[in-house]
Amino acid sequence: MNDDELLRYSRHILLDDIGIEGQQKLRDAHALVIGAGGLGSPVALYLGTAGIGRLTICDHDEVDLTNLQRQIAHRHDRIGQPKAQSARRTLLDIDPNLLVDARTVRADAALLDELVPQATVVLDCSDNFRTRHAVNAACVKHGKPLVSGAAIGFDGQISVYDSTRADAPCYACLFPPEADYEEVACATMGVFAPLVGIVGCVQAAEALKLIVGIGRPLAGRLLMLDARAMEWTEMATPRNAACSVCGAAR
């Protein structure tokens, strides 16, 4: 790191758990962020400002006026522009030296097979089960840790899925792809604006912890938030030996 980087990240470097060595791990890391909306906005911003050396942001959608209530990476003058490109512009406004690859396409299995092997950590900030299962399958296939978040209404959830750990489940262990889940959209149910910020910030924190190798990750634990009461609930999530995704991969 040069002198400017040492100054920029000095508050991290002062932490005994991070220091110069940990900050260098962040600079050497590559985070893949799937989705640049409500969750992806705080995730990308905090990962970028924290010093992640390379970010790939994947989102096929465009900025809409209704997004601006909660998707803090975007601006009014970018309505109609690709969200991934908008998030990239915001990150480069904060730190012009960041390496940000904006992919304005849907994260399908072929793209994930290209991007996931390159990543140190993958963060699922998508809003539908199809994408979540595709991201999870790719992470299991390529042995990459996945930090997954979801938020709707006043309810949020976060967990880390790391199938390389013998005791940790993958996303499909909890939410089997063969099950019939009803998709719930923000357009019909609404979402409390700060909720996505809270969940996204926790996702970013978990990713940074995984990269540096500090603390206790949320692997094997599902963290749920009721923002009405501001109450957190934690549920243990053991691995499912019969899982159709990670069970077959072992």
Q: How far apart are CA 246 and CA 28, in angstroms?
A: 28
CA-CA-CA-CA torsion sign (92, 15, 30, 56): negative
Scanning the structure block, which residue is given the tokens 């990476």? 73
Q: How far apart are CA 196 and CA 153, in angstroms?
A: 10
DSSP 3-state of 204: helix
**Catalytic residue (one of 58, 186, 243, 246):** 186
Name the residue among 157, 197, 112, 23 with its Cα closest to residue 147.
157
* Sheet-wide strand order for 54-58: 99-103, 54-58, 30-34, 121-124, 146-152, 155-161, 221-226, 231-236
- What are 47's two structure tokens? 């990962």
Please state the φ and ψ torsions of residue 30, each to the nearest 5 degrees: -130, 115
Number of neighbouring beta carbons within 10 Å of residue 194: 11
- Residue 125 appears among annotated catalytic residues: no
Residue positions annotated with a catalytic role: 186
